[in-house]
Structures are given as C-alpha cells and as structure tokens.
Amino acid sequence: MKTPYSVTLCIALVVGAAFIATPATAVDISKEKVLVNDSWLTAKAKIALAADSRVKGRQIEVETTEGRVVLRGKVDSDEAKRAAEGITAGLDGVKTVKNELQVVAPSTRDAVEEKDEAITGRVKAYFAKDTHLKNADIDVQTNAGVVSLTGEVLNLMTSAQASWTAWQVPGVKAVKNDLTVKEKS
C-alpha cells in the first residue's frame, strides 16, 4: 500500500517538531546525561538579552562554563542589571548566573570604558614582563576598574602571582581571580 505524499509530509513535520520542541538542556545517550554545549547556551543568552527591550544586549558579554553563566559589561540602570540576570536564569540549561554587570550612567560610560581599556592593556603589559606569567593562558577583562582574570594556569602559585601582579597596576580597584589550575595527567 502506498502512503499519500501529504500524509508522509505531515508525519515528517510532526517528528521534526518533536525534535525541535525537545528541551535543549540535555540529551540522553547510553543512560548518561550530556549537557548542551556551553557555546549554545551563550548564544541563547545573547539572543534573549538582545530581544528584551529592558536590556541593551550589545553592552553585555556572556561567558558559559558547564552551564554556569557569567554576565559582564555595563548597563544603564539597576533595573537593566536585574532584568539581564532574570532573563538569563530563565533559560533552559542554565545552572547558575553570576551577575558582574556594572551600572554606569550613559553620560560617563565613554570615560569609564576608555579607562578600563587602558587598565586591561597595562595588566597585559605587566604580565608580559613577568617570566612566570608571560606564557600563561590568562584572559584579562576590566569592568569599572575591576580586573577579572580567567583561563587555565599550571599551578596555584601562578594564579596567585597573576592576582598580585594585577593589583600592582595603577587604576585597578579590585581583582577577581577566576583562574583554574590544570589537572595533572
């Protein structure tokens, strides 16, 4: 018996819709949960933030590690900061949200951003001069004078050295050390 084309098409659409409607949080493979790719969550968060009128999504940087999302950047108000956190926390697959957004009035934003870029450049220059840090995999970001260090280092001493060196840079108000230490194989 031949199945009419329209019935086959309907079945294909229903099956396809079922795949699309399945939550993007996890896929069950061999009874193990495999978490959705962090880059997918980052993209999903950026799209959701850009689509919400309360938040200027271009002002927000999103990083995701194992379902834990970090929001960085500058927003115009406390309401926008809270909204960004709420939007991100409501996404499927997001375990936690660390809100490091700074509230900076639009009138002072240009001066703050220029200063932050200069501080980031100086921290990187200090790292380049330090024999223990110049080849380390450390990302530096500055937000309203607060330097965030992320990446992976060989040992705890290198992590401590990075924090100490960043503190020595003029203009740094605080250092957030989110460096991880590589596991020994």
Name the residue ranges covered by the structural domains of the chain: 34-103, 107-181
Q: Do domains 34-103 and 107-181 have the same CATH topology?
A: yes
Q: Cα separation of 112 and 1, whole Å?
A: 72
The answer to whether 150 touches 139, Cβ cutoff 8 Å, is: yes
pTM of the shown model: 0.51
pLDDT in tens, 104-139: 877 777 677 778 899 999 999 999 999 889 888 899
Domain 107-181 grouped into CATH 3.30.1340.30: yes
**What is the pLDDT confidence band of residue 161, given thresholds at 50, 70 and 90?**
very high
Q: Cα separation of 5 and 10, whole Å?
A: 9
* CATH class as words, domain 34-103: alpha beta
Q: Above pLDDT 70, what percent of the chain?
A: 79
Which residues are CB-contacts of 115 (< 8 A; sequence separation ≥ 6)?
145, 171
